[in-house]
Structure 1
């Protein structure tokens, strides 16, 4: 197998290091009593628009390649909305000042929702969010679209007032969990490389995993999802499933035993978009 190009390794390692620095800065910026509200969200950052060879060392670091380019998996810190709310309420309570959340306002023919927050300390700010509707809405978005949009809008409004800003922008953890970015691919397709010869030990060749589902899948806005599972070796892994398998994932249950085809890197299985999971039953993996 060809080695991963030096330039790609250097760029990817820089992205990994920047992600670590963001987390350390977040812990310094946020008081210790609110650290429990800082959430690390996995994101796939594009290293190159082209597909490059991924050697074993790069694979261990979280590199993978798709037909859309080359990526590295990292985790960025975001503040959960309930953390921003608690920070704001604690801040105003200590100062003896009022903090008022206005009723949500729906606009754009029922497609958008906004919330205005008025603070005696910081003034007024309005946050808005798209109401998740249609075939891509799933889970909580499908069952409670207004509540999901309201939570995101409140998080953005509090962010505009300065609460929970930790170097990753105004967006809250809830808003970013499932959001698609220009440099990020939330539902990567099958990793590929120039060498597809299985006998050569190519790490890009998919394997079959027999796993036990530990929790219900958490869907992203594009229809992809993530859930936790236990392998037959008793290893706990995070399973990333592409949007192609959304119909199957909608009916996934806790404790189900399923067989998936994909790639295992750093305790994360990426399921092959072209091979659907196969249900086996319920019980111990």
Structure 2
């Protein structure tokens, strides 16, 4: 099965309505290039560091402007439209970092809440605590679609290979990794992590990213990518700016890569034994 996939690169601001206008323009551009699966980045609807300000513009899923527009676009264009994620207000005051997949009829296929929270302290004083505002998800998900089996992740999830391995063993042939990687971590790890997840699981990776200097002052790395199961970069966007990248995806390449290096099949369970040395080369009883 072959199809054309697109990754939409954005530089979302604090106003969801304005971000939706940009999203719609870029999604239409991707569809015009023949893409039938189109992915937008993490936090498509709003990027705002100030939590109170972010909460003031958020809606629940039923009333969210991104969700409403994405469903309409998917139905109008006859494509699978994957909103990499957008912030959704929850009833308990927390926020869900939630991705949505809409089918060609405009009906929601499924959603996915980011599992791993970006709680880190980086160099130069950059610090993030997603868990202070966001409710982590607890369910990994695979969608069995017309073109193949699609697995889900969001941004920081990429650093947890067990999430990808479990989905690959369960049949995932394409992994989505929408993101808003910081410039600092992106420069160090973005491409390495994406290619590693593709290679070690023998699958395609589609990673739509946020890019550039945002209204709230943060800077994201960009470099949206589409990668094949052998780890080759099929398409890549630049470091900044709104753009669309497109690549042809042939699911046969997944089965070809897994036949050459069948590490999913060859994996073995094992016991971890911690050795406690005592004196000259001895081992504690």
State the TM-score, normalizing by the size of structure 2: 0.23
Q: Calculate the TM-score normalised by the size of structure 1.
A: 0.23
> Based on CA coordinates, which of the two structures has the bigger radius of gyration?
1
